Chains A and B, each alone.
Chain A
Amino acid sequence: MNEHITEIVIFTALFLLVSGMGFVAARWRRADDLASLNEWGLGGRNFGSWITWFLVGGDLYTAYTFVAVPALLFGAGATGFFAVPYTVITYPLVMLVLIRLWSVSHVHGLVTPADFVRVRFGSPTLALLVAITGIVATMPYIALQLIGIEAVLKTMGVTGDLPLIIAFAILAAYTYQSGLRAPALIAFVKDILIYVVILVAVIYIPAKLGGFGSIFDAADAKFAQTPAPGDGTLLNANNQLQYITLALGSAMALFLYPHSVTGVLASRSRDVIKRNMSALPAYSLLLGLIALLGYMAIAAGITPIGTDVNTVVPQLFDQMFPDWFTGVAFAAIGIGALVPAAIMSIAAANLFTRNIYKEYIRRDATDAQEARVSKLTSLVVKVGAVLCILLIDPQFSIDLQLIGGVIILQTLPSVALGLFTRWFHRVGLIAGWTAGMTAGMVLLYNIANPANNHAHFGGSAFPLSKLGFDTPMTVYAGFLALIVNLAVAALATVIARRLGSSEGVDGTRARDYTADAGDPEVKDDVELAGST
């Protein structure tokens, strides 16, 4: 008999409870019918501060994050802690941007970031590029959520693909039925479980290991023994630039991801967003504490199962906690994967429906047809994610997600800067995007990682010496690619204007960007307008 039987029973019970909630969610905050993207894809655009906090928090801080960030600290030390400055600076950075996006989206009935680009720059081509970038960046992210569940299942001794397939099939079914309401309702359970587990973990585990002092001493001792020059519990002169450019680049990229935008647009008013910018950092504190679990695993003498470092946190819980609480902790991670996976698949499906299907395949699609296409696409996206994990080496998804962060950053000039200025020419933005994507790919291709025998795509830290600089310093590849993107976009804008190239129609007015709930332009029940 399996020694993990208590854990498995509790994990399964909580998982089923949450799945039930997912199906019931269709009736929560009841809509007349779910046959429109406003209802299925944005939950009626009426979520208040609390729901938004749980939804966006559950969306951004994923199961994979909770497993992978401590694994980074376990493996390399201080460099993995970049997740903290990243999630600390992102809210003050995006606050003024997001309220403008909310306003213009509610006035014009926009659902995706590409919708905005379409209206603002009058360019279906640029909108298509933004949409494809969003879909490509999101797909591997969904696949990674499975890795979170897989790490937990492995630790419980559950092997084989069937449990994973069942979990995702259940997820697909209730997302299909309930849309964004499902992850919104489940997020309550997920986050409460995570908060409880982590607070217990950061008090209970250090107490058992002799306090934080000895935990950090153990980590220091481990890194002193390894031959790698870049690890340690502090940064060194060569990886500081990488650390801050990675934190800044990730912070800029976070709210360009379609699933983040989905959470933001589902909120009721600008005030809900502003208030959440000071409430969401609570999750960043949690993430910082979770990161330290990586060092606790070192102090506890944990070794990964096989070569999968993502198993260190589940194993730490397994070793430290009584069985029943380990079951709760595992359920928190497992359910933690479901919320973001659902929102991401909804966001990717909305991009396909609005910016490819409606733009290129069926221009006169009704609301009901749009919702139907989105629901089906969300299924396709999830099947794709499962196949990705089962058929291809999971490392491939991790590499792809790394690339995803770099490429989503290339939509910044069109989406984020576009919210403030119409200075860039649409031709310039297309040229900038192309240059940024190319630069990003070339840079990532040239990053090797001796630790896992990768000759290419071995990480995001690009050595400046490869550009001819005489220094061992590294920098975040996405950051360099963005600079290339901006420079080319500016240059091509100037050239396009000189040549008198058509600017395209800007469908927005200045006051659209400051409109708020209660204004006549902002209808409670937004008509999903085409791009006018």
Chain B
Amino acid sequence: MIENGIGASVRRKEDQRFLIGKGNYTDDINVAGQTHAVFVRSPHAHAEIKGIDCSDALAAPGVVAVLTGDDLAADGIGPLICGVTVTSDDGEPHRAPAHPALAQGKVNYVGDHVAIVIAETRAQARDAAELVDVDYSVLPAVIDTGSAADSGQPQIHEVAPDNVCYNWPFGDKEGVEAAFAGAHKVSKLDLVNNRMVTNPMEPRAALGEYNQGMDEITLHLTTQNPHVHRLVLSAFNQLAPEHKLRVVGPDVGGGFGAKIFVYAEELVVGWACRKIKRPVKWNGDRTEAFLADAHGRDHVSTAEMAMDENGKFLAMRVQTQANLGAYLSTFSTMVPSYLYAFLLAGQYSTPLIYSEVKAVFTNTAPVDACRGAGRPEATYLVERLVDICAADMGLDPAEIRRRNFIPVDAFPYQTPVVQCYDSGDYPAALDKAMELADYSGFSARAEEAKSRGKLRGIGLSSYVEACGIAPSAAVGQLGAGVGLWESAQVRFNPTGNVQVFTGTHSHGQGHETTFAQLVCDQLGVPIENIEVIHGDTARTQFGMGTYGSRSLAVGGVAIARACDKLIAKGKKIAAHALEAAEGDIEFVDGNFSVAGTDKAMNIAEVAFTAYVPHSYPEGVEPGFDENAFFDPTNFSFPAGTHICEVEVDPDTGVVEVVKYSAVDDFGRLINPMIVEGQVHGGIAHGVGQALLEGCSYDSEGQLVTASYMDYAMPRADNLPSFDIDYAPTNPPDNPLGVKGCGEAGAIGAPPAVINAISNALGVRHIDMPATPEAVWRAAQQAAAVSA
């Protein structure tokens, strides 16, 4: 048994620097000669730009440059791109309007980028930005998701008639219609998945440096995927060739999806630093984060389920209108399509599913992945609909789920919507969650609450999600412009310590610890002698980064594969040194030994021998340093049941989450402490969506919730402590037996909360966020109906 190996809750290696204030976030980095940038942003949701006069700004104290879209175009810097093609129902690719990094003739949302002002200090840049005189001719704006494609709406982009990006029907329409026609019962629900602002606590930032001698740009960015940034900025934006562009994602203060994308500010800062031949730093403030970070969710849907007389699901039909905002963000098109409709089977054996997704443009910030991306939307829809089905059939919500679960012996299970689930035991998670939540004791607790004037409710959510997106060939067929493998390099130094280079990026997930545990476990090297390095294109060979809960399930396997290669090579070296046949060498707990003898050498000695090969096997290369790439054969399918219990104050509508229990299947846990932390954070994100977070624009496209004064973030006193447990299965497709865990909470929680509130109030549905006023109104109506 290896100390600090797989399964140990090792204290995190990264914590030391964060706890003593020595983290290294982008805004913490300052370089000689640095200038400061501020962006001039559109105050209008939709306007033509008649002219931009920069003369006053240029004359302001400290100003170095003021650059606009014309300058960008003159230098041939390309527009921002969307990396995934979705084919619309007319057989054409989705409509893709040009997305210039600085506006060219038109702005399309409040916060859209108009000019960059660069000065000696940030205050001077901000002072001068106010002096840039932009002549706008304001146009009518399209804001509302549900009506954006209605006739008579203003047109945002010429290439997208009726503001439609794509219409995407998916599934067996005729089969579903036939099943509905013959159904015993049809349950139906209209629901909204509320728009969220992702809100990692560190605002986005960029620092660009141009090395004239090497003709090389270095960009420090708040990124979840430095190599993807480099690839896109090089291949599509012509910023610099890949070998002349270094992207560093240093410590990053949370991402949750918002830092995947290639943003205008990043491209413009990279371009500007070369243009003015001085370093340029931009550090966004929270207001800019609200205005111009990609937002999440924002669906309007209708869902229907056809059932037989036993409440068995026969077919499901879904219509969704999804808001993509003003332009297509980097991965936006795939979120309401592949990441959404492919999850509509949920945990159930529903044989027929048909969905129609219409993705629309509006004069709002671009919408893209936010923790869960498409899967929370799918899960919310399915798990709300299932509760409606239970009500319509007069069944307990747990019972209707049980009747429809995919049976344990059916795995791997091919759903009717592309995905083939790897492993699962859904009844086990439900049973364990019900026990953890004391489901059977609920009615007594509800009675007790009633005596205090409170309405108590309980809600279930049995979710499945698809993460670790793969394999590359499959996503390529779907229209993705990239592969979704991961790379690793495991390098012994001659003195026996190990550097692990991963193409994933850690911004809170604890990879520096979890990945070190993997290597420690496999190679028997003490954990303190292992360092995990990530986030720098100049240090790590390549990588696809961190999102979609892929890092361990994909990146972790790449590390394990590199370790396999080291062990194989080590056996040759040890065999030579120990004067034995290679086939007689065993490797256990860091030691190469000759089977049946006491002859052995440890892996550090082997590494030293590899670098000082004075006596060395013929035909073996010196050095102890291996690379591996891993392309999975399937997604990873975490699943579980979450149970939320709430108390509602009917006089005010205030909802208190009084108990939250989660039982998840993440396969094998490498560091249970870290996994539990991921679950906690995900649940808080999901409870935030359900109760607090509602991004809101007014009819003119002004963002009403543009600060923490109006956008309610979950705080410590909004949440209880959580009860967490696991019901693991062994996913056959993953060599480490692991599943992703980063998004599960945000996927499972929203329907659990809303199901609980609906239960407490005795109402059919309430939209998110279930604000006090909304809950109060629902309580009033429920009381009026029952009176």
Task: Answer whether A and B are interacting partners.
Answer: no
B interface with A by C-beta (< 8 Å) = none
Show the binding face of A for B, using Cβ within 8 Å. Answer: none
